[in-house]
Amino acid sequence: MSLFEAIRLALAQIRAQKLKSFFTLLGVTIGVTFLIAVVSIVGGMSRYMRDELVGKIIAVNAFELRHRPNINIGDIDEETWRSYRTRPRIRKEDVPPVVEALPPGTVWSVVSENNVRAESRYANPRQVLAFGVTDDYFNIRRMGVASGRLIAPQEFALGAPVVVIGKDIAEHFFPGVEPVGRELRIGGIPYQVVGVAEAQGSSFGISFDRFIVAPHDAPIYRLLNQHGVIDAVVVQAESVPIMLEAQERVRQVMRTRHRLRPSQPDNFVLETSDSALAFWTKIRGYLVVAGVALPAIGLVVGAIVIMNIMLVAVAERTREIGIRKSLGARRRDILRQFIVESATLSTFGAAVGVAIGLGLAQLIAATTPLPAAVELWSVIVGVSVGAGVGIIAGVYPARQASRLDPIAAMRQE
């Protein structure tokens, strides 16, 4: 008997015994459904964290030299916080040797940041997040403007009192008027708004459009940091290998400047999107394991049900088996028929489970804040495991069927 013929007979049995087939594949369907749904939600959360949260803070193929991490996901113990507070700050005089060590194919920007009080003639004063940056910042962040222009190189060089503002800042301080060309006072000093940045979006209810950007050497610097101190040097490379090389060079420069011995750990951080997501990556691993292990219980139950149903099928079809053997069916033909029938049942159940799981994941994404992203490997694993469960569960009943004596089987009523 060919494989296709065995599958055809298996499908015929499913159509003939719909209720029994439904209960047979129910366990596999439930197990695969939850496997797909859980893995899709975990995958969606991972992409959301990488692209929408960390990806909007740390640029592509970039790292940030800081005295401590800027993004902290998970619990940080008190001892770690104490070590952060005792670390030396990154200073302006660190920038030239760091920049000199960078390989070709990199760009960089100095960044200082803090919350400052801003006001305009059109709205009440408000605390806003302010950045003092050097001229490649907008290129690194791939930030354009919705109106107006970016800060010009001459304005960076002169430390001119000009700013580019986010969409939320424009809406609050300049309601109903065009902000470009108008005055925004920061620390009592008037700054001219030269541009409104493109919308940056939000994450977990936190808006990324509530900011102002000014030249690093503008008067705003005294509100952002102590004299001579900066918050970060942002370095972006053309590719990941160049970025890794740049990281190692910067690490060696900073260890030398901080007079660290080989046995001493770094007292600074080179933060990338991967390092910022290290805690989430660990949690994601646990969630994926749980998402695979818990549905496995349903698959085990499904395998037991399939085995019992197939044993009942063997008992009910004893006469049929005897007739097939008397007509020349070999033992392996009977064995193959029942294994294929079992595998077909479970594979069909797995396919239904994949469809329901994808629908459930999309429903959760549409009705809750949880994102969902289908992981191709989970679909392949779901279908493969479903087929495997059917094959394993069908071996014993198939062997029982193949060993039946044809004469005794034909006498069976």
Element holding 302 (H helix, E strand)? helix 278-316
Amino acid at 353: G
Mean predicted confidence (pLDDT) in 185-194: 94
Is residue 410 scored above 60 in pLDDT? no
For residue 128, what are the contacts with CB-CB under 8 A and spacing of at least 6?
A: 115, 116, 117, 118, 169, 210, 211, 212
Is residue 119 scored above 90 in pLDDT? yes
CA distance 77 to 87: 16
Is residue 246 scored above 60 in pLDDT? yes
Query: How many alpha carbons fall within 13 Å on the CB side of residue 234?
Result: 25
DSSP 150: P
The pair of three-digit structure tokens given for residue 9, joined into one six-digit string: 């007979």
Is there a contact between 209 and 143 (Cβ–Cβ < 8 Å)?
no
Count of C-beta atoms within a 10 Å radius of residue 253: 18
pLDDT score, position 118: 94
CA distance 113 to 107: 20
Is there a contact between 349 and 302 (Cβ–Cβ < 8 Å)?
yes
- Cα-Cα end-to-end distance for the chain: 26
Q: Which residue has the higher pLDDT, 311 or 257?
A: 257
> Counting beta carbons within 10 angstroms of the beta carbon of residue 55, is it exposed (0 to 12), middle (13 to 18) or buried (19 or more)?
middle
CA distance 62 to 68: 16
Name the CA radius of gyration of the chain, rounded.
Answer: 32
Digit-coded pLDDT (tens) for 168-185: 999 999 998 999 999 999
The pair of three-digit structure tokens given for residue 100, joined into one six-digit string: 């000199």
Strands 211-215 and 123-133: parallel
Amino acid at 106: T
SS3 for 97-132 is HHHHHCCCCEEEEEEEEEEEEEEECCEEEEEEEEEE
Q: Which residue has the higher pLDDT, 54 or 269?
A: 269
Q: Which has the closest alpha carbon to 39: 287, 384, 366, 279?
A: 287
Q: Which has the closest alpha carbon to 326: 413, 412, 409?
A: 409
Digit-coded pLDDT (tens) for 287-316: 667 666 666 666 676 677 667 666 666 666
pLDDT score, position 361: 78
Digit-coded pLDDT (tens) for 141-159: 888 999 999 999 999 999 9
**Sign of the CA dihedral 272, 273, 276, 281?**
negative
What string of DSSP letters covers 210-269? -EEEEETTSTTHHHHSSTTB-SEEEEEESSHHHHHHHHHHHHHHHHHHTT--TTSPPSSE
The pair of three-digit structure tokens given for residue 56, joined into one six-digit string: 């909007």
- Quote the pTM value: 0.62
Is there a contact between 253 and 98 (Cβ–Cβ < 8 Å)?
yes
Digit-coded pLDDT (tens) for 16-65: 666 666 766 777 777 788 778 777 777 777 666 655 555 556 667 788 89
